[in-house]
């Protein structure tokens, strides 16, 4: 029992490390994002920004390693709940590295976001084991990012608004990466060779690219403490909603309340930093 408890705590520490890496990656990419679209002479500042952005990109992709190791011992919803730690790291690194202003109320709003994310995952109902995929809700869920991104392409909107739109699209796309992978496994099990004949593999790749590109666009247009919480929240909430609509998983009442708290807390953060 002692060894088992130690293994669980070690796995939890891996998830903390994983989401620390992810948030550090987000902030470093934001700090160095000005190299994208740079039109001046490629001087020392350009290469410094490029190196900073590249370091962030590396950290964002490395985070999956400790998370995958943690999943050997922990249930997925427990690992996902630890994303709340990433929000805390994101807020404080934005102040430390990006010099974005922080308010005392940020601590309270951050606590609400973290608590809502934890409750959202802790009260996740176990799967029934039935591989039921509802096609119409799935098509609707897949279409949402494509529809939402259109206003972000309107130059007449302010950069702040467009940055928030792109951040939301990035989060939704990141959530759909999980959904499309789950559909692949539900349809084909772990027969990876069969994935290449499935359209869901290519949707997975499309949303992976969309999540990456729209995240960079949001960094160019918005402040980290504005776009970051939106991206994080959408990425965590959307798979929960898709699970209910597409796979028929029932939502606990606490999860519904948690979604509302997330929206309110993020809205308050945006208003404060607007």
If one counts the domains in the chain, the total is 1
pLDDT tens by residue, 106-122: 888 888 888 888 887 77
DSSP letter string, 201-215: HHHHHHHHHHHHHHH
Residue 5 lies in a domain: no
Ranked by mean pLDDT, which of 33-42, 46-55, 253-262 comes out on top? 46-55
Residue 96 lies in a domain: no
Report the alpha-carbon distance of residue 80 to residue 75 in Å, rounded: 9
pLDDT of residue 126 exceeding 70, the answer is no
pLDDT of residue 124 exceeding 60, the answer is yes
Among 17-21, 31-35, 210-214, name the one with the lowest average pLDDT.
31-35
pLDDT of residue 259: 83
Output the average pLDDT for the chain.
82
The domain containing residue 133 runs over which residues?
127-272
Report the alpha-carbon distance of residue 206 to residue 149 in Å, rounded: 14
Residue 220 lies in a domain: yes
Residue 211 lies in a domain: yes
pLDDT of residue 157 exceeding 70, the answer is yes
pLDDT of residue 154: 92
pLDDT tens by residue, 170-199: 999 988 887 887 777 777 766 777 878 888
Q: Is the CB of residue 273 less than 8 Å from the CB of residue 226? A: yes
The angle that helices 135-152 and 224-246 make with each other, rounded to 10 degrees, is 160
pLDDT of residue 215: 87
Residue 66 lies in a domain: no
pLDDT tens by residue, 237-257: 888 888 788 877 777 888 888
> What's the whole-number mean pLDDT along residues 265-269?
79
Question: Please, which pLDDT band fits residue 2 given cuts at 50, 70 and 90?
Answer: very low
Residue 203 lies in a domain: yes
Q: Is the CB of residue 78 less than 8 Å from the CB of residue 121? A: yes
Select the more confidently predicted residue: 189 or 47.
Answer: 47
pTM of the shown model: 0.71
The SS3 assignment for 68 reads helix
> What's the whole-number mean pLDDT along residues 34-50?
82
pLDDT of residue 141 exceeding 80, the answer is yes
- 110 Cβ neighbours under 8 A, 6+ residues apart: 87, 88, 91, 269
pLDDT of residue 274: 60
Angle among Cα 222, 62, 22 to the nearest 5 degrees reads 35
The conformational region for residue 251 under phi > 0 = left, psi -120 to 50 = alpha, else beta, is beta
DSSP state of 156: T
Instruction: Give the CA distances from residue 77 to residues 66, 67, 83, 156, 159, in Å, rounded to whole numbers and listed in that order.
Output: 15, 12, 10, 41, 35
pLDDT of residue 61 exceeding 70, the answer is yes
Residue 192 lies in a domain: yes
Residue 78 lies in a domain: no
pLDDT of residue 17 exceeding 80, the answer is yes
């Amino acid at each position: 029992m002692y060894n088992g408890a130690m293994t669980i705590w070690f796995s939890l520490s891996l998830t903390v490390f994983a989401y620390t890496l992810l948030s550090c990656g987000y902030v470093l990419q934001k700090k160095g994002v000005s190299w994208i679209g740079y039109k001046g002479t490629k001087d020392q500042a350009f290469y410094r920004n490029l190196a900073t952005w590249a370091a962030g990109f590396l950290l964002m992709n490395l985070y999956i390693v400790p998370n995958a190791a943690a999943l050997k011992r922990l249930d997925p919803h427990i690992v996902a709940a630890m994303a709340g730690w990433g929000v805390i790291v994101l807020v404080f690194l934005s102040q430390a590295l990006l010099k974005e202003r922080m308010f005392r109320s940020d601590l309270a709003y951050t606590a609400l976001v973290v608590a809502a994310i934890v409750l959202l995952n802790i009260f996740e109902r176990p799967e029934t084991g039935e591989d039921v995929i509802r096609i119409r809700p799935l098509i609707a869920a897949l279409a949402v990012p494509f529809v939402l991104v259109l206003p972000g392409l309107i130059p007449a909107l302010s950069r702040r608004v467009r940055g928030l739109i792109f951040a939301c699209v990035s989060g939704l796309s990141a959530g759909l990466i999980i959904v499309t992978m789950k559909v692949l496994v539900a349809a084909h099990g772990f027969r990876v060779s069969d994935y290449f004949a499935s359209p869901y593999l290519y949707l997975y790749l499309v949303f992976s690219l969309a999540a990456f590109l729209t995240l960079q666009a949001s960094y160019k247009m918005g402040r980290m403490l504005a776009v970051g919480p939106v991206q994080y929240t959408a990425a965590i909430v959307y798979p929960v909603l898709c699970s209910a609509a597409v796979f028929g998983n029932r939502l606990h009442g606490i999860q519904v309340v948690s979604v509302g708290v997330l929206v309110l807390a993020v809205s308050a953060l945006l208003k404060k930093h607007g």
